[in-house]
Amino acid sequence: MTLFSKIIGTGAYLPPKRVTNQELTQQLAEKGIETSDEWIRSRSGIGARHYVEPGVMSSDLAAEAAKRAIEMSGLPADAIDLIIVASSTPDFFGGFPSTACIVQRKLGIANECACVDVQAVCSGFVYAVSVADSFIKSGAHKNVLVIGAEVFSRILNFEDRGTCVLFGDGAGAVVMTASSEPGVLSTVLHADGRLGDILCGPGPVQNGVLQGSAFLYMDGPAVFKHAVVVLEKVAHEALDKAGMQASELDWFVPHQANIRIMNSSAKKLGVPSDKVIVTVDQHGNTSAASIPMALDHGVRDGRIKPGHNVLMEGVGGGFTWGAVLVRM
């Protein structure tokens, strides 16, 4: 029997602390940094974002999103035989123990299932779904928990208005399982390391001491320029690989980074705006968490239904990008 992978559960979690543009503008003004709700919205479409409280880690957000995805899937937690966490903000510097291992512990999964982290920044969830799809199709694993989780507020420079207003914290998750019916229809991944310096965390560690800056750095115009080009190409690659036309899409779930990039991608694909899932206005850019959170939002409000064709795509530091086409 030919094996396919299928998404059978989605979940999301946002930390309770919600910060509107007006509140953030006031906080920045106290530091002598000028911005406004109109300035933020006109450049990004963002109206609010969520931040974690001190002591809350990516694994905490991930575990909450995972519980909701597992509950929707109808599987017992111990049926999960692989956990993949995509995150640029792991619980520990250096990334070990992996956030996936910590999530396994927090979920109380005692079956010694495999756990691994994936780092592709904002493309991380797409990369992780592709990895899970390959494992399931190979027969190596049957039920895979895939999570995107971030606490980007910890790496933002709140003296750089060009980046600090854009990002937020949150987590999204899906449960993927082996199926006799197609679920994941195609995946396409790319990277170009030559562009690594336009979006990065440029501070390496030497002898246990941080060298340089630990804050996120982004060349906004350069990222925008490359994003709009590669996202159009990778979307068509995923559609072509599945033998589908954009007109057959029920929903488009892009990485929630910037409404202008999202609208540009949808327009180039010929996808009408009412078929685009948008959460960037309320969540900001949550990196690897943005796509699974937006997907869950569409599932739980009833728009995304079983049998619908959904295209998800993202672009992130590395420079990485990719797309996943699924039938729910």
Q: Is 164 a catalytic residue?
A: no
pTM (2 d.p.): 0.97
The verdict on 62 and 161 lying in the same domain is yes
The verdict on 133 and 208 lying in the same domain is no
If you average pLDDT over every residue of the chain, what do you get?
Answer: 96
CATH number of the domain that residue 286 is part of: 3.40.47.10
The verdict on 176 and 292 lying in the same domain is no
pLDDT of residue 113: 98
The verdict on 170 and 242 lying in the same domain is no
pLDDT digits (tens, 9 = 90+) for 176-198: 999 999 999 999 999 999 999 99
List, in sequence order, every residue forming a beta bridge with 187; answer none if it has no partner.
324
The verdict on 119 and 193 lying in the same domain is no
Q: Looking at 166, 181, 196, which one is the last position of a domain?
A: 181
Catalytic residue, candidates 21, 115, 285, 297: 285
Domains held by the chain: number:
2
Q: Looking at 120, 147, 181, which one is the last position of a domain?
A: 181
The verdict on 166 and 23 lying in the same domain is yes
pLDDT of residue 202: 80
Q: Is 122 a catalytic residue?
A: yes
The verdict on 85 and 204 lying in the same domain is no
The verdict on 64 and 120 lying in the same domain is yes
pLDDT of residue 214: 84
Ranges of the chain whose pLDDT falls below 70: none
Catalytic residue, candidates 141, 255, 283, 297: 255
Q: Structural domain of residue 225, as residue ranges?
A: 185-327
Catalytic residue, candidates 101, 113, 115, 122: 122
pLDDT digits (tens, 9 = 90+) for 37-56: 999 999 999 999 999 999 99
